[in-house]
Amino acid sequence: MSAATRYDTFARSLTERYATLPPRLQGIARFALDNADQMALATVAEVAQATGVPPSAVIRFAKALGFDGFLALQRVYRERLVARSATYRERIAALRRTGGRGGDVLPQLVDSAIAELEALRERVDPLLLRRAADLVLRAERVHVLAQRRAFPVAAYLAYALAQLEVPAILMDSIGGMLKQQAALLRRGDLLIAASFRSYSPEVVEAAQLCHRHHVPVVALTDHAVSPLGREATLRFDLGDNPTLPFRSLVGPMTAAQALVLAVGYAQAERPASAAPRRRPA
228 CB neighbour count, 10 Å cutoff: 25
- pLDDT beyond 90 at 231: no
Cα gap 70→64, rounded to integer Å: 11
Question: Alpha helices of the chain — where are they, by DSSP H?
Answer: 7-17, 23-34, 36-41, 44-51, 55-64, 70-83, 88-97, 105-123, 126-138, 151-163, 178-183, 201-212, 250-269
Query: Do 7-83 and 124-274 have matching folds?
Result: no
Per-residue pLDDT tens over the stretch 24-49: 999 999 999 888 888 888 889 989 99
Per-residue pLDDT tens over the stretch 139-185: 999 999 998 889 999 999 999 999 999 999 999 877 777 788 888 88
CATH topology of domain 7-83: Arc Repressor Mutant, subunit A (1.10.10)
Select 124-274's CATH number: 2.120.10.30, 3.40.50.10490, 3.10.129.10, 3.40.190.100: 3.40.50.10490
Q: Which of 154, 221, 150 lies closest to 181, judged by CA?
A: 154
Q: What is the pLDDT of residue 166?
A: 95
Bridge partner residues of 235 (DSSP) = 219
Q: Are strands 141-146 and 189-194 parallel, antiparallel or unpaired?
A: parallel
Whole-structure pTM value = 0.68
115 CB neighbour count, 10 Å cutoff: 23
Q: Where are the domains of the chain?
A: 7-83, 93-122, 124-274
